[in-house]
Amino acid sequence: MQRLVQRAIRSERLNRIAQETAVRDLALAYFAGEHVDDAVATAADLRRKGLSVSFTHLGSECGDTPVELGRLLDALGEGAIGAELSVRPSSIGLRESVDLARGTLVDLCAAADDAGASVTLEMQGHPEYTQTLALYRGVVGHHPSLGITLPVDLRRAERDARDLGRDGARVRICIGTYPEPRSVAIRSEHEKSLALVRCLRILVEAGAHTLLASHDPRVIHIAQELAHRADRTTEDFEFQMLMGVRPLEQRRLVDIGMRCRTYIPFGPAWYEYLAGRIAARPRTLWNYARAILDKR
């Protein structure tokens, strides 16, 4: 399944068909559009519903993302206050140069700080894990609002969760979307869910600023209980969910006093984004299809 979808991602013909047919209209349920104005309009609509927002730019590996995120902050104006910019390390140049990535990240964090927003580094698989963690640690001392993503399916995740928890870090935990070898990662979906709960408990009980990125009803219920017992508030605990997935659950969490943040992708590389998620975790295809039929 993974190889089939990965071949489809690389197919110029399928990409062109997706851009020119109803596939794009369907995809718009899960990404804001290709332009900054689309992201701003989507965020305004979600905010009216009480949701917080996180933006990620779908662009080339390196080059246009920092510029587009800067334009986004300018376009948001006061709407940038409390927003999150979710940044792939490759989009700020980590695969080209650590120094380039560090300089770009520092500039983004400074712009976000000035606008009242925050930046969270995504994680792009175990080959770049150590570099990404080092990049985070090298910048967070100067920009304390910088967050890091911890994919709990990696076998080292619990150890890193303890270290980050002791630091009082802002940590997004999730089940990773990159296929990993068995030597470094858990493969069973059930075991991944258990690992997510273990890391969640570690971070919440340590008092870290915890961002739980999950749509799993069982995990969400456990998280509510853990946050309540640890007296966590909307200032140091939140749920994060993808745009278009379980929108009613996102609203429910807000209605009961929790913070829920919607992840808003925007940019020209939307086809690669959606297909890539499906290739990494084929069950995502079912999640998207179910969301269309059942807006829970």
pLDDT per residue of the chain (296 residues) written in tens, 0 to 9: 555 555 554 555 555 555 555 566 677 889 999 999 999 999 999 999 999 999 999 986 567 999 999 999 999 999 999 999 999 999 999 999 999 999 999 999 999 999 999 999 999 989 999 999 999 999 999 999 999 999 999 999 999 999 999 999 999 999 998 888 999 999 999 999 999 999 999 999 999 999 999 999 999 999 999 999 999 999 999 999 999 999 999 999 999 999 999 999 999 988 888 877 666 655 555 555 555 445 44
- pLDDT for res 283: 59
- Residue identified by tokens 């596939």 is 23
- Residue identified by tokens 């689309």 is 38
* pTM, 2 dp: 0.89
3-class DSSP assignment, residue 29: coil
- pLDDT for res 69: 98
Which helix (H) or strand (E) is 210 found in, with range? strand 209-213
Which domains occur in the chain, in start order? 2-293 (3.20.20.220)
- pLDDT for res 270: 87
Q: What are the helix (H) ranges across the chain?
A: 2-10, 12-20, 22-27, 36-48, 64-76, 98-115, 129-140, 157-166, 189-206, 217-229, 247-255, 270-280, 283-293
